[in-house]
Structure 1
Amino acid sequence: MTLSRRSLIGSSALAAGLTATGARAQAQKLNIYSHRVHRTVATTGQGGDITAGWSQRTGIGVEWVTFDTGPLQERLFREASLRETTVDIGFLLNTQTVPRITTLFEPLDEYMARDPVEDPTDIFPGMVQGMAIGGKLYGLPFRHASSGFHYNEEILAERGITAPPKTIEELAEVAKRCTYTRANGAPVVGFLLPGVTYPNVIDIARAWDGEFITPDMKCVANERPMVNAITLLRDLFVAGAFPRNFAAISTEEVNVWMQTGRAAMVINSMGRNQIYNDPQRSQFPGRIKTTTIPVSRELAGKFEVAPAKVEFWGMAIPRASRNKDLAWSLMKEMLSRESTLKAALNGNGPVRNSTYDDPRIRERVPFAEAERAVLKVARVPMPAFDQAARAADFFKEEAEAAVLGMKTPQQAMDDLVRRVQPLLG
């Protein structure tokens, strides 16, 4: 059973700050299923509670039900598959926005046409596109993690390098120069990644504007950009500038390598800057800088920065929700320019360009301008689809074989395309 949509008169009244008797009768509270971090950044911190004003105007409470990532997806999808659910807004990762969810969540295009969110062009386009399936929008972004280039300026200075590399080719050269033994006897490897999984390698391929799988579901990993990325990693591995045990290094171990100076440079989420410079754990507090991933020399005129990956959480409305119009009203509130700024002051990764203009954000995020530059061109690492996990496994197997020299980069990527394309339908 699909419930008929309520009249938008009540919703418009809510948007105008009026008390709607019918809306109050419809719901005394709205239920949000999310990760606990979403509740924290939405309700706690310098910016305050971004839902409080909406609740005060409408007389409707907001109930947060929080889970870890895996249990959240399981519970949310189960609730959304019911004939009727008490869940009104659910948080989804972009990787969970797969075609099968089109039967579970409400398309938002009609809402956007009739009662759009404030200044939708201010929201970074790569994240909006990442929640569209079959030309329809099923969610709106709320919190992001974008990739950046981190470098230890003290280690670079010891090798006579006074500025970060400006191209991806120069990055490879700097990585080799920064593979050495320091005066205190500590060995340093020039470049590090948390494994050669597709989300990590795509950041390098994007220096040539490359893809693993295109939005129209074609595997293009054997084209020049991805082959270039794998070749770069293979060359660094042979030169000793990429760890011999790269396949076994976890994300947490990457933190330690950067904090202790075992690695000079890494491509990882920009938010890792705070961890790398943690004065309680880092031997280089304030000396590990974060900037954009450099483009290749040949694309320097096309892109100012590499169109690196962005991963994000978005908000969606279950089709079985009893309060869709109210849910949309609250989502609009949570995505307004003011709310986005308040959530950013609470520690959220903002999804609006304008948020980065605020001096408070620029003060607390030293790489704010670099992050904004990335988000203007960033894209999800690949489109979400039902066989994505298998495709990811195949990528890791072939990329590791190439970096270790078991196959040439071109052979490995050719084999990858043959294995992945049948999964794409």
Structure 2
Amino acid sequence: MRFLAKIGLSLTALLLAGVAARAETITVATVNNDDMIIMQKLSSEWEKATGNKVNWVVLEENVLRQRVTTDIATKAGQFDIVTIGAYETPIWGKAGWLASLNDLGDDYDYKDVFEPLRNGLSVDGKLYALPFYAESSFTLYRKDLFEKAGLTMPEQPTWDQIAQFADKLTDKSKEQYGICLRGKPGWGENMGLITTIVNTFGGRWFDMEWKPQLTSDPWKKAIGFYVDLLKRDGPPGATSNGFNENQALFASGKCAIWVDATSAAGRLYNKATSKVGDVLAFAQPPVNVSPKGNGWFWAWSLAVPSSTKNLDTAKSFVKWATSKEYVKRVGETAGWVAAPPGTRQSTYDNPEYKKAAPFAGMVLKAILTADPTNATKEPVPYKGIQFVAIPEFQAIGTSVGQAIASILAGQQTEDAALGAAQDEVTQTMQQAGYIQ
């Protein structure tokens, strides 16, 4: 009997080992940014090492957010790994929609990940996402065009100065536009930039009683300035241009100035993917009456939905894709200038990265000094620089983004669009119980 029992235990162990060794296919939902495309190319190395496979769902930013939010909220389990950011992670982690990622092992080196990122992606000490790359925002410009026009970009420009420079550098007959800015509607597209403009004009989304402020003077001045500037000096069809579209315009030499994500620096400095690598220069993001909230804070991160049926395999991929070793592989295969920025101290200690990316120090400072708890001139009841850290903001931000895009497209007046947005947001906040 003991012999038979031993045979039974041995067979069980073999069967369990077979199950554990069986290859799994995980589905990863991610955004169509350059860094994620590199991850997709390198994922064959993880597949070869583990025997598992990756099914990629690569989507435009707004579509990604819609698909992922629906899947997570309904626990449909379509995705094993999702690409989300500093907005969704704490909210979804607290709701129990994400698996904790604190158990990837000592060899992952959590302490190497910058503390503000770890804190921003945690709830009650538990990490619910790990940063793939992090960013703030800054002003990119073409120093050759500035020198030719006899202009000097200050280290800390104002929005009025940016407008003056853009006016002088616009030559639409040559398809040379003084400025490119996000116009595509979406809480993470045009509103990511617009909220920082509103911050510097002294505005805020809500007062201390959660009453919307969309018809306040700072909002009206900020939106009026933004719309007028893009109409005068921006490219045609600006309402179709988000991050990727403006990056392509700038890389092809059609923008004199672009205010956007610091993560663009590596791609634009890379002469293999950019025509302006030799003439690229950087300054701080513009300010107006207030310096607060002029540069945003974001981390595109990988998270594992609690609905996944492939938990261990999904965690294995997240560990690989956000590790020090992965950063090194990008440097070795795509060039160090393309290494994922803003996440790990070891990247910024690496002499090869510092040599390839002379902008690294400025980018890191912008990320680490961005303060989501002190981003507005007047006091507010929320955290966030380019977003409001409440569940309702995803819908609110996208709706307001559409209203502002309608102003830019000439479909509505500023007063009409902001007035309607004010009413809609007020109703949403009432229904959610923030205000009576």
Q: TM-score range by the shorter chain?
A: 0.5 to 0.7
**Aligned mates of 2:266, 2:112 — CA distance in 1:** 29
Judge conservation of contact 2:205–2:213 (CA < 8 Å) in 1: yes
**Aligned CA distance change for structure 1 residues 373 and 415 (closer, same or farther; 3 Å):** farther
State the SS of the aligned residue for 1:204. helix
Alignment of 1:16-415 (within 5 A): 27-28=20-21, 29=23, 31-35=25-29, 38=36, 40-41=38-39, 44=42, 49=45, 61-69=51-59, 89-94=80-85, 105-108=97-100, 111=102, 118-120=109-111, 122-123=113-114, 125=116, 129=120, 131=121, 138-144=128-134, 146-164=136-154, 166-181=156-171, 186=174, 188-195=176-183, 197-207=190-200, 212=205, 219-222=212-215, 226-236=219-229, 240-242=232-234, 246-249=238-241, 254-255=246-247, 257-259=249-251, 261-273=253-265, 284-296=276-288, 298-299=290-291, 306-310=294-298, 312-321=300-309, 323-324=311-312, 328=315, 331-332=318-319, 334-343=321-330, 347-354=338-345, 355-378=347-370, 381-382=386-387, 383=389, 385=391, 388-389=394-395, 391-398=397-404, 400-401=406-407, 407=413, 413=418, 415=420
CA distance in 2, matches of 1:162, 1:25: 66
Structure 1 counterpart of 2:425: 420
1:265: how far off? Answer: 0.7
Q: What residue identity is the alignment partner of 1:153?
A: K
Aligned amino acid, residue 186 of structure 1: K
Q: Take 2:19 and 2:394, find their aligned partners in 1: how far apart are those partners? A: 39
Instruction: Decide whether aligned partners of structure 1 residues 367 and 23 sit closer, same or farther in structure 2, where only a CA change above 3 A counts.
Output: farther
The 1:419/1:285 distance shift into structure 2, 3 A limit, reads same
Identity of aligned residues (%): 15
Distance in 2 between residues matched to 1:255 and 1:334, nearest whole Å = 24
Q: Secondary structure at the match of 2:258?
A: strand
**Cα 1:64/1:267, change in 2 over 3 Å:** same
Q: Residue 380 of structure 2 aligns with which residue?
A: none
- The answer for unaligned runs of 5 or more in structure 2 is 1-12, 185-189, 373-384
Q: More displaced, 27-36 or 308-317?
A: 27-36
Secondary structure, counterpart of 1:318 in structure 2: coil
8 Å contact kept, 1:80–1:320: no
Provide closer, same or farther for how the CA distance between residues 337 and 166 of structure 1 changes in structure 2, counting only shifts above 3 A.
Answer: same
Q: Is this contact kept in 1: 2:163–2:229, CA < 8 A?
A: no
Distance 1:61 1:76, change over 3 A: farther
Cα distance in structure 1, aligned partners of 2:304 and 2:116: 17
1:166 partner letter: Q
Amino acid at match of 1:392: T
Cα pair 2:108 2:319 within 8 Å, conserved: yes
1:64: how far off?
A: 2.1
CA offsets per residue over residues 240-260 of structure 1, 9 Å max, x none?
334575335566664564356
Say whether the 8 Å CA contact 1:337–1:352 is kept in structure 2: no
Deviations 1:391-418 (A, max 9, x none): 4133331464389696457x85454333
Aligned-pair distance for 1:342? 4.3
Contact 2:99-2:303 within 8 A present in 1 as well: no
**1:381/1:75 Cα in 2 relative to 1: closer, same or farther (>3 Å)?**
closer
Calculate the TM-score normalised by the size of structure 1. Answer: 0.67
In structure 2, how many angstroms separate the alpha carbons of the residues matched to 1:217 and 1:329? 42
Give the CA deviation at 1:90.
Answer: 0.9
Q: In 2, are the aligned partners of 1:149 and 1:290 still within 8 Å (CA)?
A: yes
Contact 1:148–1:267 (8 Å) recurs in 2: yes
Following TM superposition, by how much is the alpha carbon of 1:151 offset from its aligned partner in structure 2, in angstroms?
0.7
Cα distance change of structure 1 residues 280 and 66 upon mapping to structure 2, 3 Å threshold: closer
Q: Is the 8 A contact 1:27 1:323 kept in 2?
A: no
Distance 2:290 2:253 in 1: 32
Look up the equivalent residue of 1:357 and give its one-letter code: D
Q: Supply the distance in 1 between the matched residues of 2:225 and 2:196 (Cα, whole angstroms).
A: 12
Instruction: Supply the distance in 2 between the matched residues of 1:215 and 1:373 (Cα, whole angstroms).
Output: 30
CA apart distance, 1:289: 2.5
CA contact (8 A) 1:104 1:319 kept: no
What CA distance in whole angstroms lies between the structure 2 residues aligned with 1:282 and 1:86?
36
Letter in 2 for 1:200: L
SS in 2 for 1:321: coil
Larger displacement relative to structure 2 (400-409 or 190-199): 400-409
| TM-aligned CA deviation for residue 339 of structure 1 | 4.3
Q: Conserved in 2, the CA contact under 8 Å of 1:273 and 1:289?
A: no
| 1:190–1:242 CA contact under 8 A, matched in 2 | yes
Alpha-carbon distance between aligned partners in 1 of 2:37 and 2:27, rounded to the nearest angstrom: 9
- The runs of 5 or more residues in structure 1 that have no matched partner are 1-19
Question: How many residues are matched?
Answer: 385
The alpha carbon displacement at 1:26 in A equals: 6.5
Once the two structures are superposed, residues 247-292 of structure 1 have per-residue CA deviations (whole angstroms, 9 ceiling, x without a partner) of 3556666456435654321123344446656768866451132444
Alpha-carbon distance in structure 2 between the residues aligned to 1:399 and 1:65: 34
Shift of 1:179: 3.9
Q: Distance in 1 between matches of 2:211 and 2:340?
A: 30
C-alpha contact (below 8 Å) 2:180/2:258 kept by paired residues: yes
Q: Deviations over 1:160-211 (max 9, x none)?
A: 11334523235335435524549xx636442221316212313433546865
